[in-house]
Structure 1
Amino acid sequence: MIHDMDAIAWTILGAVGAVAITLVACAPALKRDQLRRQTAGSAGGALAGIGSGFDAVWRPSAEDANAQWEAQIELPAPAPSPGDGGSIDDGSIVIDLDD
């Protein structure tokens, strides 16, 4: 009975070790892929919220910087004021610019 548990324990330990070695070996490629997707604008996914939650706890300055960056790139267009030139003409929006 003890020898059976010993074999199971060694099998589990070997599997955990193999997974750890695989993750360490693949980490540079995964990071490079993440950076490539980030520069292409398609980074994120289901686990993005979990990562930002960890940033908020362990690296609040990084989370603040990310929030500020997102606010800067997502500025809305200014709303037109009533005195601005522009009208809707046959379903098309026409904007008159004073030269």
Structure 2
Amino acid sequence: MTDLPVDRALRLEVTDNEDGLIQVRLSALSPESQKVSYEIVTQGASRSSHRGNTTLAANEPATLSTISFSYADNWCVKLNAVEESGKSYDLQEGPGCG
């Protein structure tokens, strides 16, 4: 799991279930109402991407996306997020991200 500073609205949780699947959960918690956009790219046995835009309510936890994909030795999950203020950040997790 990627622990974020409190000034970031999005959080990326990645779990290797050891059953051949990697599970990804994109969650949100913002101290203020704001619009966010994001793109998640997963690489494992295959590659996929998911984009979204949403408005977050202040102090309301939300799950924005859940993704499962097949394990590969070089799996990687990348998130690019842009908040309404213009602040952007990239998060990544997995042995294939380096």
Fold shared per TM-score above 0.5: no
Pairwise TM-score range, normalised by the shorter structure: under 0.3
Structure of greater Rg: 1
TM norm structure 2: 0.16
Which has the larger share of strand?
A: 2
Which has the larger share of helix?
A: 1
TM norm structure 1: 0.16
